[in-house]
Amino acid sequence: MARRRIIVFLSLLGIFIAGYLSWVKFSDTQAFCGGVGDCSSVQNSAYAYLFGIPVAYLGLLNYIALFAASLFNLRAGPELRSWGELAVFALAVLGFAFSAYLTYTELFQIHAICPWCVASFVNLTAIMILAAIPIFGGEPESEAAYG
C-alpha cells in the first residue's frame, strides 16, 4: 500500500513539474532555473517538440495518465489491481524512455541542462522502479493491507 501511495504522490509531483514547464511553454516565458543550467536553451531547442507538440505538454499528459492509473490502482480491488499495476508500469516505462532520450539530447546535442527536466527524469525513474516491483515478482502485499 505504501508503494502505491508513493507512486500517487510522485505522479502529482510530476504533474507540478510538467505543468510548470507547460505553462512556461504556453506563456512563452523563461523557466526559473535558479542560476543552475540553461532552461531557455533546452526549452527552445528543436528537441523541445515532437510532431510540433511541445514535449512539456506530452510530459504533462503522461503524468496525468500516471496519476489516474496509480489512483485507480490504489482504490482497485484485488481482482483489478494487476491491470492497474501493469498500466502504471507501462506508462512509467514510456515516460522514462522518452525522458532518458531527452536527457541524452540535453547532454550530447544541446549541451545544456534544464534542472526541471532532470527532476522529471529522476521522478520518472523512481516511479518506474516502484512500479516494476509487482511486475517482476516483488513481495506481494498482504490482502489485509487492501482494506
Q: Grid coordinates representing 18? A: 510538467
Whether the full predicted model's pTM is greater than 0.85, yes or no, is yes
* pLDDT score recorded for residue 31: 84
Residues composing the chain: 147
For the segment 58-89, what is each residue's pLDDT rounded down to a tens digit? 999 999 999 999 999 888 888 888 899 999 99
Mean residue pLDDT across the chain: 90
**pLDDT (mean) for 11-28:** 95
Asked if 84 contacts 73 with a C-beta cutoff of 8 angstroms, the reply is yes
Question: How large is the angle between the packed helices 55-75 and 78-105, nearest 10 degrees?
Answer: 160
Rounded Cα–Cα distance for residues 12 and 17 (Å):
9
27-51 confidence digits (pLDDT tens):
988 888 887 788 888 988 999 999 9
Gyration radius of the chain over CA positions: 16
- Which CATH code fits 2-141? 1.20.1440.130
106-115 pLDDT tens trace = 999 999 999 9
Domain boundaries, given as residue ranges, for the chain: 2-141
Measured between alpha carbons, how far is 47 from 85 in angstroms, rounded to an integer? 31
Q: Is the pLDDT of residue 1 over 60?
A: yes
Q: Are strands 53-54 and 49-50 parallel, antiparallel or unpaired?
A: antiparallel
